[in-house]
Amino acid sequence: MEKKNIDWGSLGFGYMPTDKRYVSNYKNGAWDEGALVDDPMITMSECAGVLQYSQSVFEGLKAYTTEDGHIVTFRPDLNGARMEDSARRLEMPVFPKERFVEAVRQVVKANAAWVPPYGSGATLYLRPFMFGSNPVIGVKPADEYQFRIFTTPVGPYFKGGAKPIVIKVSDFDRAAPNGTGHIKAGLNYAMSLHAIVTAHNEGFAENLYPDAATRTKVEETGGANIIFIKGNKLVTSNSSSILPSITRRSLEYVAEHYLGMEVEERDIYLTELGEFEECGLCGTAAVISPVGKINDHGKEIAFSSGMEEMGPKIRKLYDTLTGIQMGRVEAPEGWIQVIE
Ligand SMILES: *Cc1c(COP(=O)(O)O)cnc(C)c1O
């Protein structure tokens, strides 16, 4: 298969339509068999449920080329299971996780020419999503839905290495205690836009959202979970209103089983941040972005790892997980789905 003629090294994180996308429609209480299609455009009613009441959920994962030349994806079964949970919370029909994994396989295979080569730093980003498509004017769940996965090649998240960032403790809330913070709903992102634009205008890279009820505990940022290092310990929040990041859960496994670290999931108070040595944001896009400083209403918490590079423990976690993903380090059973 001949690769597309793309300067992989200079790709940004943007949308570029590829040859095929996977589409399945839900109507009269059932999903159709699904198909790969050419058309990147969607035509639907102006009154579609997604347009009126934001009934939509999504996922994000990547396909890439390993050191030995295979095209693979990373733990797509967990994305499929999480999308089931997201759908249930928004009263949408579940697209079964087994079918999700198979759809991922089909759409990556059909776009194999768009999967960046090993070593380029680029990957093929997959965006599975689902939305209510029939007219809904009285507030209720839609009766018809579309599940779709498109792919787009994206550049290395960090051009020229991951520099630590500065984030701020936000005055806005991302998620309510019994709300939708734990699912991947588009509406969570709509709510975060004003907060992120505000943070950027103030010179910060991201928002750290405290828990909405007491504003004393660390939750997460708009699109990434937060990890902390203290001695030989990896500490993360166990809040029920954060999104269960697959990267974070994988890093916890790596910390415990590959690096001999202790893992602690617990309440993390803003008042104890100064006791941590390293901090990072984790998610599919960047794996880990190191955090150098957290600004809590003018009070600066500076981690001893500094503003020049990743701290040593986070660097180890990053190297091991990306090593597993790229086939340089042996993966735990079931983590790597080989497409071809
Ligand atoms: C997608 C997402 C993450 C990261 O999850 P991964 O599965 O690691 O990509 C973290 N927080 C939020 C709010 C998200 O939407």
pLDDT per position as a tens digit, 78-132: 999 999 999 999 999 999 999 999 999 999 999 999 999 999 999 999 999 999 9
* pLDDT tens sequence across 151-178: 999 998 777 678 999 999 999 999 999 9
Token digits for 187? 């509406």
Q: Is the dihedral of CA 276, 299, 304, 258 positive or negative?
A: positive
Torsion of CA 5, 8, 9, 11, to 10 degrees: 110
Q: Which amino acid is at 236?
A: T
Query: Containing H/E element for 129?
Result: strand 123-132
For residue 60, which atom of ligand 1 is closest to its CA? 9
Token digits for 183? 């699912």
Query: Containing H/E element for 262?
Result: strand 262-266
For residue 158, the model assigns a pLDDT of: 75
In this structure, the number of other CB atoms found within 10 A of the CB of residue 196 comes to 19
Q: What is the reported pTM?
A: 0.97
**For tokens 């403790």, what's the residue?**
169
CB 125 within 8 A of CB 60: yes
Give the residue, out of 129, 221, 284, with the most ligand 1 atoms within 8 A of its beta carbon, to mutate for a pocket test: 284
Give the residue, out of 226, 243, 252, 288, with the most ligand 1 atoms within 8 A of its beta carbon, to mutate for a pocket test: 243
Query: Residue 1's pLDDT band (boundaries 50, 70, 90)?
Result: confident
297 alpha carbon to ligand 1 midpoint, in Å?
25
